[in-house]
Chains A and B, each alone.
Chain A
Protein backbone atom coordinates (compact mmCIF):
# COMPACT_ATOMS: atom_id res chain seq x y z
CA UNK A 1 0.00 0.00 0.00
CA UNK A 2 2.80 2.44 0.98
CA UNK A 3 4.66 1.75 -2.27
CA UNK A 4 1.51 2.43 -4.23
CA UNK A 5 1.05 5.74 -2.42
CA UNK A 6 4.60 6.81 -3.21
CA UNK A 7 4.26 5.75 -6.84
CA UNK A 8 1.00 7.72 -6.95
CA UNK A 9 2.94 10.93 -6.28
CA UNK A 10 4.68 10.65 -9.63
CA UNK A 11 3.29 11.00 -13.09
CA UNK A 12 3.78 8.36 -15.75
CA UNK A 13 6.86 9.56 -17.54
CA UNK A 14 6.69 8.98 -21.26
CA UNK A 15 9.73 8.72 -23.51
CA UNK A 16 8.89 12.20 -24.91
CA UNK A 17 8.98 13.62 -21.39
CA UNK A 18 12.35 11.94 -20.72
CA UNK A 19 13.77 13.51 -23.87
CA UNK A 20 12.33 16.92 -22.92
CA UNK A 21 13.78 16.68 -19.40
CA UNK A 22 17.16 15.67 -20.80
CA UNK A 23 17.07 18.61 -23.22
CA UNK A 24 16.13 21.10 -20.46
CA UNK A 25 18.95 19.80 -18.25
CA UNK A 26 21.44 19.86 -21.11
CA UNK A 27 20.39 23.37 -22.15
CA UNK A 28 20.57 24.65 -18.56
CA UNK A 29 24.00 23.11 -18.02
CA UNK A 30 25.17 24.62 -21.32
CA UNK A 31 23.97 28.11 -20.35
CA UNK A 32 25.61 27.87 -16.91
CA UNK A 33 28.83 26.50 -18.42
CA UNK A 34 28.89 29.26 -21.02
CA UNK A 35 28.14 32.02 -18.48
CA UNK A 36 30.97 30.75 -16.27
CA UNK A 37 33.43 31.05 -19.13
CA UNK A 38 32.23 34.00 -21.19
CA UNK A 39 31.41 36.39 -18.33
CA UNK A 40 34.80 36.08 -16.53
CA UNK A 41 36.55 36.51 -19.92
CA UNK A 42 34.49 39.63 -20.58
CA UNK A 43 35.13 40.92 -17.05
CA UNK A 44 38.90 40.62 -17.57
CA UNK A 45 38.61 43.23 -20.34
CA UNK A 46 36.69 45.65 -18.14
CA UNK A 47 37.60 47.75 -15.14
CA UNK A 48 35.92 49.30 -12.13
CA UNK A 49 32.13 49.14 -11.83
CA UNK A 50 31.63 47.49 -15.24
CA UNK A 51 33.93 44.58 -14.28
CA UNK A 52 32.20 44.02 -10.95
CA UNK A 53 28.75 44.15 -12.56
CA UNK A 54 29.66 41.49 -15.13
CA UNK A 55 31.21 39.28 -12.43
CA UNK A 56 28.06 39.59 -10.30
CA UNK A 57 26.00 38.25 -13.22
CA UNK A 58 27.66 34.81 -12.98
CA UNK A 59 25.97 33.44 -9.82
CA UNK A 60 22.75 35.30 -10.62
CA UNK A 61 22.54 33.64 -14.04
CA UNK A 62 23.12 30.22 -12.47
CA UNK A 63 20.38 30.62 -9.88
CA UNK A 64 17.88 31.95 -12.44
CA UNK A 65 18.61 29.08 -14.84
CA UNK A 66 18.37 26.55 -11.97
CA UNK A 67 14.99 27.89 -10.80
CA UNK A 68 13.56 28.02 -14.34
CA UNK A 69 14.73 24.47 -15.08
CA UNK A 70 13.19 23.22 -11.81
CA UNK A 71 9.87 24.94 -12.57
CA UNK A 72 9.94 23.32 -16.02
CA UNK A 73 10.86 19.77 -14.94
CA UNK A 74 9.01 19.20 -11.64
CA UNK A 75 5.43 19.33 -13.05
CA UNK A 76 6.49 16.82 -15.72
CA UNK A 77 7.47 14.27 -13.07
CA UNK A 78 5.25 14.96 -10.08
CA UNK A 79 1.50 15.41 -9.71
CA UNK A 80 1.64 18.93 -8.28
CA UNK A 81 -1.22 18.76 -5.76
CA UNK A 82 -0.92 20.24 -2.27
CA UNK A 83 -1.02 16.79 -0.70
CA UNK A 84 1.76 15.48 -2.93
CA UNK A 85 3.99 18.48 -2.37
CA UNK A 86 3.60 18.22 1.42
CA UNK A 87 4.48 14.52 1.27
CA UNK A 88 7.54 15.09 -0.94
CA UNK A 89 8.82 18.08 1.01
CA UNK A 90 8.30 16.18 4.29
CA UNK A 91 10.29 13.20 3.04
CA UNK A 92 13.00 15.43 1.60
CA UNK A 93 13.18 17.41 4.85
CA UNK A 94 13.67 14.23 6.84
CA UNK A 95 16.46 13.04 4.55
CA UNK A 96 18.16 16.43 4.62
CA UNK A 97 17.81 16.76 8.38
CA UNK A 98 19.67 13.51 8.99
CA UNK A 99 22.08 13.00 6.15
CA UNK A 100 22.89 16.15 4.21
CA UNK A 101 22.18 18.99 6.63
CA UNK A 102 25.41 20.93 6.11
CA UNK A 103 25.49 20.39 2.37
CA UNK A 104 21.93 21.61 1.85
CA UNK A 105 22.47 24.45 4.31
CA UNK A 106 25.38 25.56 2.14
CA UNK A 107 23.26 25.31 -0.99
CA UNK A 108 20.50 27.42 0.55
CA UNK A 109 23.03 29.93 1.86
CA UNK A 110 24.43 30.06 -1.69
CA UNK A 111 21.01 31.10 -2.98
CA UNK A 112 20.62 33.62 -0.15
CA UNK A 113 24.06 34.99 -1.03
CA UNK A 114 22.89 35.75 -4.56
CA UNK A 115 20.21 38.19 -3.46
CA UNK A 116 21.60 39.33 -0.09
CA UNK A 117 25.01 39.95 -1.70
CA UNK A 118 27.37 39.60 1.29
CA UNK A 119 30.02 38.90 -1.36
CA UNK A 120 30.22 39.02 -5.13
CA UNK A 121 32.96 37.93 -7.51
CA UNK A 122 35.62 40.65 -7.47
CA UNK A 123 34.95 41.59 -3.81
CA UNK A 124 37.76 41.49 -1.26
CA UNK A 125 36.49 39.66 1.81
CA UNK A 126 37.76 38.29 5.09
CA UNK A 127 36.20 35.17 6.59
CA UNK A 128 37.66 33.51 9.68
CA UNK A 129 40.89 35.51 9.34
CA UNK A 130 41.45 34.66 5.66
CA UNK A 131 41.55 37.67 3.34
CA UNK A 132 41.32 37.46 -0.44
CA UNK A 133 39.48 38.24 -3.64
CA UNK A 134 36.28 36.33 -4.45
CA UNK A 135 36.96 34.56 -7.72
CA UNK A 136 33.97 32.27 -8.03
CA UNK A 137 30.71 31.67 -6.21
CA UNK A 138 29.72 28.02 -6.54
CA UNK A 139 26.55 26.26 -5.45
CA UNK A 140 28.09 25.09 -2.19
CA UNK A 141 31.16 27.24 -1.59
CA UNK A 142 32.79 30.53 -2.46
CA UNK A 143 36.26 30.36 -3.97
CA UNK A 144 38.65 33.10 -2.94
CA UNK A 145 42.30 33.74 -3.77
CA UNK A 146 44.56 35.20 -1.10
CA UNK A 147 47.28 37.76 -1.86
CA UNK A 148 49.76 34.86 -1.68
CA UNK A 149 47.91 33.16 -4.55
CA UNK A 150 46.39 30.41 -2.42
CA UNK A 151 42.87 29.30 -3.31
CA UNK A 152 40.58 29.01 -0.30
CA UNK A 153 37.13 27.38 -0.48
CA UNK A 154 34.70 28.80 2.06
CA UNK A 155 31.31 27.01 2.34
CA UNK A 156 28.35 29.35 2.11
CA UNK A 157 27.33 27.83 5.43
CA UNK A 158 29.63 30.40 7.08
CA UNK A 159 27.10 33.02 6.06
CA UNK A 160 24.68 31.96 8.82
CA UNK A 161 26.83 32.53 11.89
CA UNK A 162 30.20 34.05 10.90
CA UNK A 163 31.23 37.65 10.38
CA UNK A 164 31.93 38.35 6.69
CA UNK A 165 34.15 41.42 6.24
CA UNK A 166 33.70 42.89 2.76
CA UNK A 167 36.28 45.58 1.93
CA UNK A 168 34.69 46.97 -1.24
CA UNK A 169 31.11 45.68 -1.07
CA UNK A 170 30.54 45.31 -4.79
CA UNK A 171 32.05 48.68 -5.73
CA UNK A 172 35.46 49.69 -7.03
CA UNK A 173 36.28 51.64 -3.82
CA UNK A 174 38.51 49.79 -1.40
CA UNK A 175 40.29 51.69 1.34
CA UNK A 176 43.96 50.97 1.87
CA UNK A 177 45.44 51.83 5.25
CA UNK A 178 49.20 52.33 5.36
CA UNK A 179 50.89 52.56 8.75
CA UNK A 180 53.87 54.72 9.67
CA UNK A 181 55.48 54.43 13.11
CA UNK A 182 57.48 57.52 14.04
CA UNK A 183 59.35 58.61 17.13
CA UNK A 184 57.36 61.22 19.07
CA UNK A 185 59.58 64.30 18.55
CA UNK A 186 58.45 65.88 15.26
CA UNK A 187 56.03 68.41 13.74
CA UNK A 188 52.80 66.41 13.38
CA UNK A 189 51.13 68.92 11.01
CA UNK A 190 54.09 68.83 8.65
CA UNK A 191 54.10 65.01 8.62
CA UNK A 192 50.33 64.87 8.12
CA UNK A 193 50.51 67.23 5.12
CA UNK A 194 53.46 65.30 3.73
CA UNK A 195 51.70 61.94 3.98
CA UNK A 196 48.58 63.37 2.32
CA UNK A 197 50.76 64.57 -0.55
CA UNK A 198 52.46 61.17 -0.74
CA UNK A 199 49.03 59.63 -1.40
CA UNK A 200 47.92 62.45 -3.71
CA UNK A 201 50.98 61.98 -5.91
CA UNK A 202 50.75 58.20 -6.13
CA UNK A 203 49.84 57.00 -9.64
CA UNK A 204 47.61 54.37 -8.03
CA UNK A 205 45.40 56.75 -6.05
CA UNK A 206 41.72 57.26 -6.88
CA UNK A 207 41.45 61.05 -6.91
CA UNK A 208 37.65 60.96 -6.63
CA UNK A 209 37.95 59.54 -3.11
CA UNK A 210 39.16 61.29 0.08
CA UNK A 211 42.65 60.96 1.53
CA UNK A 212 42.81 61.01 5.31
CA UNK A 213 45.64 60.83 7.84
CA UNK A 214 44.86 59.70 11.39
CA UNK A 215 47.38 60.35 14.15
CA UNK A 216 47.53 58.47 17.44
CA UNK A 217 50.03 58.99 20.20
CA UNK A 218 51.41 55.76 21.67
CA UNK A 219 53.85 55.06 24.53
CA UNK A 220 56.59 54.29 21.96
CA UNK A 221 55.97 57.27 19.62
CA UNK A 222 53.34 58.37 17.08
CA UNK A 223 51.29 56.07 14.92
CA UNK A 224 50.16 57.52 11.55
CA UNK A 225 47.49 55.80 9.49
CA UNK A 226 47.30 57.01 5.90
CA UNK A 227 43.92 56.11 4.40
CA UNK A 228 43.36 56.33 0.65
CA UNK A 229 41.72 54.39 -2.18
CA UNK A 230 43.45 52.81 -5.20
CA UNK A 231 41.88 53.15 -8.67
CA UNK A 232 41.28 49.40 -8.80
CA UNK A 233 40.91 47.16 -5.70
CA UNK A 234 43.38 44.71 -7.31
CA UNK A 235 46.10 47.36 -6.99
CA UNK A 236 45.80 47.57 -3.20
CA UNK A 237 49.13 45.90 -2.39
CA UNK A 238 51.13 47.77 -5.04
CA UNK A 239 49.47 50.96 -3.78
CA UNK A 240 50.44 50.22 -0.19
CA UNK A 241 54.00 49.41 -1.31
CA UNK A 242 54.23 52.67 -3.27
CA UNK A 243 52.91 54.71 -0.30
CA UNK A 244 55.29 53.00 2.12
CA UNK A 245 58.36 53.38 -0.09
CA UNK A 246 57.77 57.00 -1.05
CA UNK A 247 56.45 57.90 2.40
CA UNK A 248 59.63 56.62 4.07
CA UNK A 249 61.84 58.47 1.56
CA UNK A 250 59.96 61.74 2.15
CA UNK A 251 60.02 61.36 5.94
CA UNK A 252 63.78 60.73 5.84
CA UNK A 253 64.21 63.86 3.72
CA UNK A 254 62.65 66.04 6.47
CA UNK A 255 64.73 64.25 9.10
CA UNK A 256 61.90 62.55 10.98
CA UNK A 257 63.04 59.56 13.01
CA UNK A 258 61.22 56.24 12.84
CA UNK A 259 60.08 54.59 16.06
CA UNK A 260 61.99 51.63 17.42
CA UNK A 261 59.51 49.49 19.27
CA UNK A 262 60.69 48.23 22.60
CA UNK A 263 60.41 44.43 23.15
CA UNK A 264 57.21 44.78 25.21
CA UNK A 265 55.46 46.52 22.29
CA UNK A 266 56.72 44.18 19.62
CA UNK A 267 54.07 41.98 18.04
CA UNK A 268 54.66 38.31 18.90
CA UNK A 269 55.19 36.24 15.76
CA UNK A 270 54.18 32.62 15.79
CA UNK A 271 56.04 30.23 13.49
Chain B
Protein backbone atom coordinates (compact mmCIF):
# COMPACT_ATOMS: atom_id res chain seq x y z
CA UNK B 1 0.00 0.00 0.00
CA UNK B 2 1.29 3.44 -0.90
CA UNK B 3 2.40 5.63 1.99
CA UNK B 4 2.26 8.84 -0.03
CA UNK B 5 -0.28 11.39 1.17
CA UNK B 6 -2.54 12.72 -1.60
CA UNK B 7 -4.53 15.14 0.56
CA UNK B 8 -3.80 18.74 -0.38
CA UNK B 9 -5.06 22.02 1.04
CA UNK B 10 -5.42 24.78 -1.56
CA UNK B 11 -6.85 28.26 -1.90
CA UNK B 12 -10.53 28.18 -2.85
CA UNK B 13 -9.83 30.09 -6.08
CA UNK B 14 -7.55 27.23 -7.19
CA UNK B 15 -10.23 24.56 -6.82
CA UNK B 16 -10.98 22.59 -9.97
CA UNK B 17 -13.34 19.69 -10.35
CA UNK B 18 -11.79 16.48 -11.66
CA UNK B 19 -12.17 16.02 -15.41
CA UNK B 20 -15.00 13.65 -16.21
CA UNK B 21 -14.37 10.94 -18.82
CA UNK B 22 -16.77 11.04 -21.79
CA UNK B 23 -18.66 8.00 -20.47
CA UNK B 24 -19.26 9.71 -17.12
CA UNK B 25 -20.46 12.90 -18.85
CA UNK B 26 -22.88 10.86 -20.92
CA UNK B 27 -24.06 9.09 -17.77
CA UNK B 28 -24.55 12.46 -16.03
CA UNK B 29 -26.50 13.79 -19.02
CA UNK B 30 -28.76 10.73 -19.06
CA UNK B 31 -29.25 11.04 -15.31
CA UNK B 32 -30.19 14.70 -15.79
CA UNK B 33 -32.70 13.86 -18.53
CA UNK B 34 -34.16 11.07 -16.36
CA UNK B 35 -34.55 13.54 -13.51
CA UNK B 36 -36.52 15.88 -15.83
CA UNK B 37 -39.05 13.14 -16.48
CA UNK B 38 -39.35 11.31 -13.17
CA UNK B 39 -41.30 8.10 -13.05
CA UNK B 40 -44.49 8.28 -11.05
CA UNK B 41 -44.22 4.66 -9.83
CA UNK B 42 -43.11 4.21 -6.29
CA UNK B 43 -39.94 2.61 -4.98
CA UNK B 44 -40.12 -1.12 -4.43
CA UNK B 45 -41.56 -1.85 -0.99
CA UNK B 46 -38.80 -4.27 0.04
CA UNK B 47 -36.14 -1.88 -1.11
CA UNK B 48 -37.77 0.91 0.88
CA UNK B 49 -37.44 -1.04 4.10
CA UNK B 50 -33.71 -1.64 3.65
CA UNK B 51 -31.30 1.04 4.61
CA UNK B 52 -28.63 2.12 2.23
CA UNK B 53 -25.26 0.43 2.60
CA UNK B 54 -23.19 1.92 5.40
CA UNK B 55 -21.56 5.19 4.48
CA UNK B 56 -18.33 4.72 6.31
CA UNK B 57 -15.96 7.28 7.70
CA UNK B 58 -12.40 7.47 6.43
CA UNK B 59 -9.08 7.93 8.20
CA UNK B 60 -8.69 11.66 8.76
CA UNK B 61 -5.05 11.59 9.93
CA UNK B 62 -3.50 12.16 6.46
CA UNK B 63 -5.90 15.07 5.85
CA UNK B 64 -4.92 16.56 9.22
CA UNK B 65 -1.27 16.30 8.13
CA UNK B 66 -2.13 18.20 4.96
CA UNK B 67 -3.73 20.99 7.03
CA UNK B 68 -0.63 21.12 9.20
CA UNK B 69 1.60 21.39 6.19
CA UNK B 70 -0.48 24.18 4.61
CA UNK B 71 -0.85 26.26 7.77
CA UNK B 72 2.48 25.53 9.52
CA UNK B 73 3.88 29.01 9.02
CA UNK B 74 0.65 30.65 10.21
CA UNK B 75 0.65 28.41 13.29
CA UNK B 76 4.22 29.31 14.16
CA UNK B 77 3.60 33.04 13.75
CA UNK B 78 0.60 32.70 16.07
CA UNK B 79 -0.83 36.04 14.95
CA UNK B 80 -4.52 36.88 15.47
CA UNK B 81 -6.70 36.25 12.44
CA UNK B 82 -8.71 33.51 10.83
CA UNK B 83 -8.51 30.95 8.10
CA UNK B 84 -11.72 29.77 6.44
CA UNK B 85 -11.99 26.15 5.38
CA UNK B 86 -14.83 25.63 2.91
CA UNK B 87 -16.50 22.28 3.22
CA UNK B 88 -18.72 20.81 0.49
CA UNK B 89 -21.52 18.67 1.99
CA UNK B 90 -20.38 15.23 3.18
CA UNK B 91 -16.73 16.01 2.37
CA UNK B 92 -15.73 15.40 6.01
CA UNK B 93 -13.79 18.71 6.20
CA UNK B 94 -15.41 19.62 9.53
CA UNK B 95 -14.37 16.25 11.00
CA UNK B 96 -10.85 16.77 9.74
CA UNK B 97 -10.74 20.28 11.22
CA UNK B 98 -12.02 18.97 14.57
CA UNK B 99 -9.27 16.31 14.63
CA UNK B 100 -6.72 18.96 13.68
CA UNK B 101 -7.91 21.32 16.44
CA UNK B 102 -7.84 18.52 19.00
CA UNK B 103 -4.29 17.64 18.00
CA UNK B 104 -3.19 21.24 18.57
CA UNK B 105 -5.26 21.72 21.72
CA UNK B 106 -7.48 24.38 20.13
CA UNK B 107 -10.88 24.92 21.68
CA UNK B 108 -14.03 24.14 19.72
CA UNK B 109 -16.46 27.07 20.04
CA UNK B 110 -20.12 26.50 20.81
CA UNK B 111 -22.61 28.09 18.43
CA UNK B 112 -24.87 30.82 19.88
CA UNK B 113 -28.34 30.02 21.15
CA UNK B 114 -31.26 31.43 19.16
CA UNK B 115 -31.79 34.37 21.56
CA UNK B 116 -28.16 35.49 21.23
CA UNK B 117 -28.37 35.05 17.47
CA UNK B 118 -31.47 37.18 17.02
CA UNK B 119 -30.31 39.72 19.64
CA UNK B 120 -26.91 40.10 17.88
CA UNK B 121 -25.18 39.57 21.24
CA UNK B 122 -21.75 38.65 19.90
CA UNK B 123 -19.94 39.62 23.12
CA UNK B 124 -22.34 37.62 25.29
CA UNK B 125 -21.66 34.61 23.09
CA UNK B 126 -17.88 35.10 23.02
CA UNK B 127 -17.03 36.05 26.60
CA UNK B 128 -17.94 32.76 28.35
CA UNK B 129 -15.72 30.79 25.98
CA UNK B 130 -13.06 33.37 25.07
CA UNK B 131 -9.75 31.77 24.18
CA UNK B 132 -6.65 32.54 22.09
CA UNK B 133 -6.90 29.63 19.68
CA UNK B 134 -10.19 28.20 18.59
CA UNK B 135 -12.14 26.27 15.97
CA UNK B 136 -15.61 27.20 14.70
CA UNK B 137 -16.65 23.91 13.14
CA UNK B 138 -19.83 25.05 11.37
CA UNK B 139 -20.45 28.68 10.40
CA UNK B 140 -23.93 27.57 9.25
CA UNK B 141 -24.95 27.55 12.92
CA UNK B 142 -24.18 31.27 13.21
CA UNK B 143 -26.91 32.59 10.91
CA UNK B 144 -30.38 31.79 9.65
CA UNK B 145 -32.16 32.89 6.54
CA UNK B 146 -34.71 35.26 8.05
CA UNK B 147 -34.56 38.98 8.67
CA UNK B 148 -33.41 38.55 12.29
CA UNK B 149 -30.91 35.85 11.48
CA UNK B 150 -28.25 37.68 9.47
CA UNK B 151 -27.11 40.53 11.73
CA UNK B 152 -25.13 38.24 14.07
CA UNK B 153 -22.87 36.83 11.37
CA UNK B 154 -22.51 40.27 9.76
CA UNK B 155 -21.24 41.61 13.08
CA UNK B 156 -19.09 38.56 13.76
CA UNK B 157 -17.26 38.32 10.40
CA UNK B 158 -15.46 41.71 10.60
CA UNK B 159 -14.36 40.90 14.17
CA UNK B 160 -12.98 37.56 13.03
CA UNK B 161 -11.14 39.05 10.08
CA UNK B 162 -9.67 41.89 12.17
CA UNK B 163 -8.37 39.29 14.61
CA UNK B 164 -10.35 40.67 17.56
CA UNK B 165 -11.18 37.14 18.68
CA UNK B 166 -7.64 35.76 18.45
CA UNK B 167 -6.43 33.05 16.11
CA UNK B 168 -8.99 30.65 14.73
CA UNK B 169 -10.20 28.38 12.00
CA UNK B 170 -13.74 28.71 10.62
CA UNK B 171 -15.25 25.75 8.80
CA UNK B 172 -18.02 26.90 6.49
CA UNK B 173 -20.31 24.70 4.46
CA UNK B 174 -20.01 25.47 0.73
CA UNK B 175 -23.73 26.32 0.36
CA UNK B 176 -23.64 28.60 3.39
CA UNK B 177 -20.51 30.23 2.00
CA UNK B 178 -22.21 30.91 -1.36
CA UNK B 179 -25.15 32.58 0.40
CA UNK B 180 -22.99 34.56 2.84
CA UNK B 181 -20.97 36.01 -0.01
CA UNK B 182 -24.28 37.45 -1.20
CA UNK B 183 -25.50 38.55 2.25
CA UNK B 184 -22.14 40.03 3.27
CA UNK B 185 -20.52 40.97 -0.01
CA UNK B 186 -17.04 41.92 1.24
CA UNK B 187 -14.60 39.29 0.03
CA UNK B 188 -13.23 37.03 2.74
CA UNK B 189 -9.45 36.60 3.03
CA UNK B 190 -7.63 33.29 3.62
CA UNK B 191 -10.25 30.98 2.18
CA UNK B 192 -9.05 27.40 1.75
CA UNK B 193 -10.48 24.02 0.84
CA UNK B 194 -9.25 20.52 0.16
CA UNK B 195 -8.23 19.89 -3.44
CA UNK B 196 -10.68 17.73 -5.41
CA UNK B 197 -10.09 14.04 -4.81
CA UNK B 198 -8.43 12.22 -7.69
CA UNK B 199 -8.11 8.47 -8.24
CA UNK B 200 -4.99 8.30 -6.06
CA UNK B 201 -6.71 9.92 -3.09
CA UNK B 202 -9.75 7.67 -3.48
CA UNK B 203 -7.41 4.68 -3.38
CA UNK B 204 -5.79 6.15 -0.28
CA UNK B 205 -9.14 6.35 1.55
CA UNK B 206 -9.77 2.69 0.79
CA UNK B 207 -11.72 2.42 -2.48
CA UNK B 208 -10.18 -0.55 -4.24
CA UNK B 209 -10.91 -0.74 -7.95
CA UNK B 210 -9.19 -0.04 -11.24
CA UNK B 211 -7.90 3.40 -12.18
CA UNK B 212 -10.57 4.02 -14.84
CA UNK B 213 -13.42 3.42 -12.41
CA UNK B 214 -11.74 5.53 -9.74
CA UNK B 215 -11.40 8.40 -12.19
CA UNK B 216 -15.06 8.13 -13.18
CA UNK B 217 -16.07 7.95 -9.50
CA UNK B 218 -14.03 11.06 -8.62
CA UNK B 219 -15.72 12.95 -11.45
CA UNK B 220 -19.23 11.81 -10.50
CA UNK B 221 -18.61 12.85 -6.89
CA UNK B 222 -17.17 16.26 -7.97
CA UNK B 223 -13.95 15.33 -6.18
CA UNK B 224 -15.78 15.00 -2.85
CA UNK B 225 -14.32 12.10 -0.83
CA UNK B 226 -17.39 11.47 1.34
CA UNK B 227 -19.71 11.51 -1.65
CA UNK B 228 -17.39 9.19 -3.57
CA UNK B 229 -17.45 6.69 -0.69
CA UNK B 230 -21.25 6.78 -0.67
CA UNK B 231 -21.53 6.37 -4.44
CA UNK B 232 -19.04 3.50 -4.29
CA UNK B 233 -21.06 1.79 -1.55
CA UNK B 234 -24.20 1.99 -3.71
CA UNK B 235 -22.35 0.84 -6.82
CA UNK B 236 -21.16 -2.28 -5.05
CA UNK B 237 -24.61 -3.14 -3.79
CA UNK B 238 -26.85 -4.25 -6.65
CA UNK B 239 -30.01 -4.07 -4.48
CA UNK B 240 -29.91 -0.30 -4.26
CA UNK B 241 -30.01 2.60 -6.64
CA UNK B 242 -29.56 6.28 -5.86
CA UNK B 243 -32.77 8.10 -4.89
CA UNK B 244 -34.34 10.46 -7.39
CA UNK B 245 -36.64 13.47 -7.14
CA UNK B 246 -40.35 12.47 -6.97
CA UNK B 247 -42.48 13.35 -10.00
CA UNK B 248 -44.78 15.82 -8.23
CA UNK B 249 -42.09 18.13 -6.84
CA UNK B 250 -42.72 21.84 -7.20
CA UNK B 251 -41.56 25.15 -5.80
CA UNK B 252 -42.28 24.13 -2.20
CA UNK B 253 -40.02 21.08 -2.51
CA UNK B 254 -37.22 23.23 -3.89
CA UNK B 255 -37.64 25.70 -0.98
CA UNK B 256 -37.29 22.92 1.60
CA UNK B 257 -34.29 21.28 -0.07
CA UNK B 258 -32.51 24.60 -0.59
CA UNK B 259 -33.12 25.72 3.02
CA UNK B 260 -31.74 22.41 4.33
CA UNK B 261 -28.62 22.69 2.19
CA UNK B 262 -28.04 26.36 3.10
CA UNK B 263 -28.18 25.62 6.82
CA UNK B 264 -26.53 22.20 6.67
CA UNK B 265 -29.71 20.74 8.16
CA UNK B 266 -32.26 22.26 10.53
CA UNK B 267 -34.75 21.17 13.20
CA UNK B 268 -38.37 21.22 11.97
CA UNK B 269 -39.33 24.29 14.00
CA UNK B 270 -36.40 26.36 12.71
CA UNK B 271 -37.09 25.18 9.18
CA UNK B 272 -40.58 26.62 9.57
CA UNK B 273 -38.95 29.85 10.79
CA UNK B 274 -36.91 30.24 7.60
CA UNK B 275 -39.84 29.25 5.39
CA UNK B 276 -42.82 31.23 6.73
CA UNK B 277 -44.30 31.12 3.21
CA UNK B 278 -45.14 27.45 3.75
CA UNK B 279 -47.94 26.58 6.16
CA UNK B 280 -46.97 24.06 8.87
CA UNK B 281 -49.04 21.27 7.31
CA UNK B 282 -47.60 21.96 3.85
CA UNK B 283 -44.11 21.73 5.30
CA UNK B 284 -44.94 18.44 7.04
CA UNK B 285 -46.21 16.97 3.77
CA UNK B 286 -43.05 18.05 1.96
CA UNK B 287 -40.79 16.61 4.66
CA UNK B 288 -42.69 13.33 4.68
CA UNK B 289 -42.63 13.03 0.90
CA UNK B 290 -38.90 13.78 0.70
CA UNK B 291 -38.18 11.38 3.54
CA UNK B 292 -40.09 8.62 1.74
CA UNK B 293 -38.06 9.37 -1.37
CA UNK B 294 -34.93 8.98 0.84
CA UNK B 295 -33.69 12.41 -0.15
CA UNK B 296 -33.76 13.70 3.43
CA UNK B 297 -33.51 12.08 6.83
CA UNK B 298 -34.25 13.13 10.40
CA UNK B 299 -31.53 12.49 12.99
CA UNK B 300 -31.65 13.96 16.50
CA UNK B 301 -34.61 16.11 15.39
CA UNK B 302 -32.48 17.62 12.61
CA UNK B 303 -33.64 17.30 9.02
CA UNK B 304 -30.77 16.86 6.58
CA UNK B 305 -30.20 15.93 2.95
CA UNK B 306 -29.00 12.32 2.72
CA UNK B 307 -25.58 11.68 1.23
CA UNK B 308 -27.21 9.37 -1.33
CA UNK B 309 -29.75 12.00 -2.36
CA UNK B 310 -27.30 14.90 -2.61
CA UNK B 311 -26.50 14.54 -6.32
CA UNK B 312 -30.19 14.40 -7.30
CA UNK B 313 -31.00 17.38 -5.05
CA UNK B 314 -28.13 19.47 -6.40
CA UNK B 315 -29.09 18.68 -9.99
CA UNK B 316 -32.75 19.49 -9.26
CA UNK B 317 -31.92 22.88 -7.71
CA UNK B 318 -29.41 23.76 -10.41
CA UNK B 319 -31.87 22.96 -13.21
CA UNK B 320 -34.38 25.30 -11.55
CA UNK B 321 -31.89 28.18 -11.60
CA UNK B 322 -30.95 28.20 -7.89
CA UNK B 323 -27.71 29.76 -6.71
CA UNK B 324 -25.65 26.62 -6.09
CA UNK B 325 -22.28 26.17 -4.39
CA UNK B 326 -18.96 26.41 -6.23
CA UNK B 327 -18.16 22.70 -5.87
List A residues at the B interface (Cβ < 8 Å).
45-50, 172, 194, 197-198, 200-204, 206-208, 231-232, 235, 238, 242, 246, 250
Provide 9 A-B residue pairs closer than 8 Å at the C-beta atoms, listed in order of the A residue. Answer: A48-B320, A198-B147, A201-B145, A201-B274, A202-B277, A206-B321, A207-B179, A207-B182, A207-B322
Do B150 and A203 touch across chains, with their CB atoms under 8 A apart? no
B287: shortest Cβ distance to chain A, in Å? 15
Do A246 and B147 touch across chains, with their CB atoms under 8 A apart? yes
Do A203 and B277 touch across chains, with their CB atoms under 8 A apart? yes
Collect the chain B residues with CB atoms within 8 Å of residue A204's CB.
Answer: 251, 277
Instruction: Report how many residues on chain B are interfacial, defined by Cβ distance under 8 Å.
Output: 24
A64: shortest Cβ distance to chain B, in Å? 25
Do A46 and B255 touch across chains, with their CB atoms under 8 A apart? no
Q: A207-B323, A235-B251 are in contact. Are A246 and B276 (CB under 8 A)?
A: yes
Do A45 and B37 touch across chains, with their CB atoms under 8 A apart? yes
Known: A231-B321, A232-B320. 16 other contacts (CB 8 A): A45-B36, A45-B37, A46-B319, A197-B147, A197-B150, A200-B150, A200-B183, A201-B149, A203-B255, A203-B275, A204-B251, A204-B277, A206-B323, A207-B179, A231-B320, A246-B147
Do B258 and A208 touch across chains, with their CB atoms under 8 A apart? no
Do A232 and B147 touch across chains, with their CB atoms under 8 A apart? no
A271: shortest Cβ distance to chain B, in Å? 34
Q: B146 an interface residue at 8 Å Cβ cutoff?
A: yes
B155: shortest Cβ distance to chain A, in Å? 13
Assembly CA distance A112 to B150 (angstroms): 50
Collect the chain B residues with CB atoms within 8 Å of residue A250's CB.
Answer: 147
A241: shortest Cβ distance to chain B, in Å? 9
List B residues at the A interface (Cβ < 8 Å).
36-37, 145-147, 149-150, 178-179, 182-183, 251, 255, 258-259, 274-277, 319-323
Do A47 and B147 touch across chains, with their CB atoms under 8 A apart? no
Collect the chain B residues with CB atoms within 8 Å of residue A198's CB.
Answer: 147
Count chain A CB atoms within 10 A of each CB in B147, B183, B255, B274 and give the residue with the most.
Answer: B147
B257: shortest Cβ distance to chain A, in Å? 11
A246: shortest Cβ distance to chain B, in Å? 7
Q: Which of B182, B275, B276 contacts A200 (CB 8 A)?
A: B182
Collect the chain B residues with CB atoms within 8 Å of residue A203's CB.
Answer: 255, 258-259, 275, 277
Do A46 and B36 touch across chains, with their CB atoms under 8 A apart? yes
A27: shortest Cβ distance to chain B, in Å? 28
Collect the chain B residues with CB atoms within 8 Å of residue A232's CB.
Answer: 320-321
Assembly CA distance A146 to B270 (angstroms): 37
Assembly CA distance A194 to B323 (angstroms): 22
Collect the chain A residues with CB atoms within 8 Å of residue B274's CB.
Answer: 201
B37 nearest CB neighbor, chain A only: A45
